[in-house]
Structure 1
Amino acid sequence: MRDRVRERVPVVVQTRGVRSTPARVLWVCAEAVVTCGVVLMLLVVHQLWWTNQQARAQAGEQVRVLEREWAGSPPAGPSPSVSGPPAVVPDVPAEETEAATTPPPAARPGESPPSSAYAIIRIPRIGLTAPIARGVSKRSVLDRGYVGHYPDTAGPGRTGNFALAGHRNTHGEPFRYINRLRKGDVIRIQTREREYEYVVDQVLAQTAPRDTGVIQPVPRSLVKPSYGYSDPGSYLTLTTCTPEFSSRYRLIVWAKRV
């Protein structure tokens, strides 16, 4: 009788360890750190570069739209002052305030709609040319690279205080270098009717965000009363955040109409 030999093929089952080795843990952590760094870098690039590119393009186009409108139509009367609730001093980091304004006239058939801005600010010393729009809403005004006209302040060239706000960093940063302005520097405000010229008179380097005295008809700081005025006149106020990349304080520049 022939013996039958049964051969069994050994089966080897390999299992992976459930627990990661220290090297693998370090590798995963390194990947996470690199990913977070890339995301953070992209956010910084978007905030510091891309928002500026977008806002400057919008603001520049708005200036050109205004100039074309003014060149093609006669003056329509003096620029009105803006009414509405008082706003916090510049840039409105927490709340957004809209100006109460009358709606713009409808465009004629075949024409583009009128621009939302109504004036242009030019400051030769810092090379600034930017459109001015009613209100200081971040979304619809300031973040578009515009300079915002505070509600309830005087219109351009009027007796009182023509108060403006603008970003110092990001979103076009039109007021990035207003800290460089000095007494005697010229600021020009152009409207459909005419151009108004103001001369810088005082600079308040730092005040509190709620120092609303700086945008009153006769501007005077409530925090530092030695800064400001006591007599009525035709004033221009520029407001922005300070120090740079912070909204902790406010920087104020006052000018008088020539």
Structure 2
Amino acid sequence: MPTTPKTLVRHSIPFLLLLFCATRSETRSYLRLHANGSETHSLKEKGDDLFALYRGTILANDSKRKKIAYTCGSGDLCGGVGDRLKGFASTFVLALLLDAEFVVEWTSPVPIDSFFKMPVMTNGEGLRKSAKNATTWSLIDAHSSSMELKKLRMSNFRELWRSNDFISIHLNGAVWNHFVMNEHLVDIGDKYSLNRFSKRQLFEVVMKYYFSTPMPALQNFVVREAAKFR
């Protein structure tokens, strides 16, 4: 039987409900409860400025730009939905700080672009296979190790991946703030004015940018399921 968005939705109900709620309703509720209108507008403007500058950077000399992929495939230690979203955000911030193009290899339990229209290339696996010098970097459950977190702030990632054109990242922690504090990446952090964002705000703008547009199959499913609880 061919796989369709409808069958994918039906077989992934818990994952979809958690992901959809975590990326839309929860964020909007947080902004309503903890920020007044001007602060919310200010955060939106800062997020818009951040992604506009990043898109412009990526479009320049795109063919030779290094690619960094958030990777979550079959057999990978991705964690639950929360861990995946934290790993996604952390990987994006690392790509941002390295002036690399952020791509996605999220295929487990189902391809993420089956449910969200994402403003990013999601064919990471194909890009990795066509890369001249691909590599993999993993950091799982780093939040439990202060030594690992210290390494994130001190490692010279530019030098580490100087010869690589594609890096698959396996990451499941909320460590983007440690990348921002990395002593070798301060110049790019200043370029994007990342000091304007708190840790939570940076997570919010990343989630809003990448997970705000559900595909019709997911949107219709959530509406139907929500109606059952009314």
Q: After TM superposition, is the score higher than 0.5?
A: no
Asked which structure has the greater CA Rg, the reply is: 1
Ranked by relative contact order (alpha carbons within 8 Å, sequence separation 6 or more), the top structure is 2
Q: Which has the higher helix share?
A: 2
Q: Scaled by the length of structure 2, what TM-score is found?
A: 0.30
Q: Which has the higher strand share?
A: 1
Q: Scaled by the length of structure 1, what TM-score is found?
A: 0.28
